[in-house]
Amino acid sequence: MTALTAPQFTNEAAAIAHLEASRWADGVSCPHCGSVNVHRMGGETQKGMFLCNDCRDKFTARTGTVMERSHIPVHKWLLAIHLMNASKKGMSAHQLHRMLGITYKSAWFLAHRIREAMRDDKPAGMGGAGHQVQADETYYGNTSKRAKHYRKGHSHKSGVVALVNPATGEARAFQVESATTETVRDILYTNVHRASTLVTDESNLYKYTGKSYRQHETVIHTGREYVNKDGYTTNNVENFFGIFKKGMVGVYHFCGEQHLQRYLNEFAFRYTHRSGLGVSDNERAALALKGIEGKRLTYRRPN
């Protein structure tokens, strides 16, 4: 594991060099027009700045990434990315605020931008021939009676549908208003390869859509059957929900429904690239850093 005192976390020039190397491993290209006909500008005030010889635009390694227009130095971004990826359950804005010496509001924005970087925006189909994909749904919401807008029952919580391929370890999770045959169908059709074996519990939600897959295995939980007669389980997807819920209670103390999908992206990212699959904290952070490009944020309010 990289020490938190490593140069890219403490020195701004080293941090910029680290960011440039991550973003432009094959050489610098202009974020505006894609040209590689660029040059580094001289001068103290133009540190980290490039000029495109084709479109004449100026840019830095932050341009066109979630770091653009942020006043937080690159070394603090890199440290935040590392911290959020090195802790299994994530890191709250309060912790980041204290560890990075930035305001709580800045830490909150930073964390949500990093969650965007952890979102896979070009996902390929999950599973395929010879693979199984486990699907399950749960409900998420703050059930504390002291919570703002407290209402009783499942119908007032957000639904979450998650998919896990136990062979590759890949996880995806989606916020839905409520889990219905239609919402489940749309998620499965857009994400799971039809040649896969779908594994779910006995819920009616998956019965119809399950017919579109090569095979549909069900595990009967109401009958205390955790492994069906052919050896299939939904343990992996339940394990993902377990980690997500523990993290949301212990670290994040719940979140508003409008932010839930970003937290789901964060947990799915860490699960997909978890240490149990041989991914180190450094490698996971490096993958998150690769995801900073091409993601724009539209929300503003920190609560």
Question: Least distance (Å) from Zn ion to the CB of residue 113?
Answer: 24
Nearer of residues 30 and 80 to Zn ion, judged by Cβ: 30
Please, are residues 136 and 162 in contact by the beta-carbon 8 Å criterion?
Answer: yes
Torsion angles phi and psi, residue 267, rounded to 5: -70, -40
Nearer of residues 31 and 141 to Zn ion, judged by Cβ: 31
28 binds Zn ion (CB under 5 A): no
Instruction: Please list the residues that pair with 135 across neighbouring strands.
Output: 163
251 binds Zn ion (CB under 5 A): no
Nearer of residues 59 and 263 to Zn ion, judged by Cβ: 59
50 binds Zn ion (CB under 5 A): no
Of 28, 49, 51, 55, the residue at the interface with Zn ion (CB under 5 A) is 55
Q: In this chain, which stretch among 51-59, 85-93, 236-244, 261-269 interacts with Zn ion, using CB under 5 A? A: 51-59
Nearer of residues 54 and 283 to Zn ion, judged by Cβ: 54
Question: Least distance (Å) from Zn ion to the CB of residue 58?
Answer: 10
Per-residue 3-state assignment (H helix, E strand, C coil) for the chain: CCCCCCHHHHCHHHHHHHHHHHHCCCCCCCCCCCCCCEEECCCHHHCCCEEECCCCCEECCCCCECCCCCCCCHHHHHHHHHHHHHCCCCCCHHHHHHHHCCCHHHHHHHHHHHHHHCCCCCCCCECCCCCEEEEEEEEECCCCCCCCCCCCCHHHCEEEEEEECCCCCCEEEEEECCCCHHHHHHHHHHHECCCCEEEEECCHHHHHHHCCCCEEEEECCCCCCCCCCCCCCCHHHHHHHHHHHHHHHHCCCCCCHHHHHHHHHHHHHHHHCCHHHCCCHHHHHHHHHHCCECCCCCCCCCC
35 binds Zn ion (CB under 5 A): yes
Of 6, 19, 30, 162, the residue at the interface with Zn ion (CB under 5 A) is 30
Number of residues forming the site for Zn ion (CB under 5 A): 7
Question: Least distance (Å) from Zn ion to the CB of residue 59?
Answer: 8
Of 16, 52, 93, 96, the residue at the interface with Zn ion (CB under 5 A) is 52
Strands 50-52 and 58-59: antiparallel
32 binds Zn ion (CB under 5 A): yes
Nearer of residues 52 and 80 to Zn ion, judged by Cβ: 52
Nearer of residues 19 and 30 to Zn ion, judged by Cβ: 30
Q: In this chain, which stretch among 52-60, 83-91, 106-114, 149-157 interacts with Zn ion, using CB under 5 A? A: 52-60
Nearer of residues 52 and 287 to Zn ion, judged by Cβ: 52
Question: Least distance (Å) from Zn ion to the CB of residue 63?
Answer: 10
Q: Interface with Zn ion by CB under 5 A: which residues?
A: 30, 32-33, 35, 52, 54-55
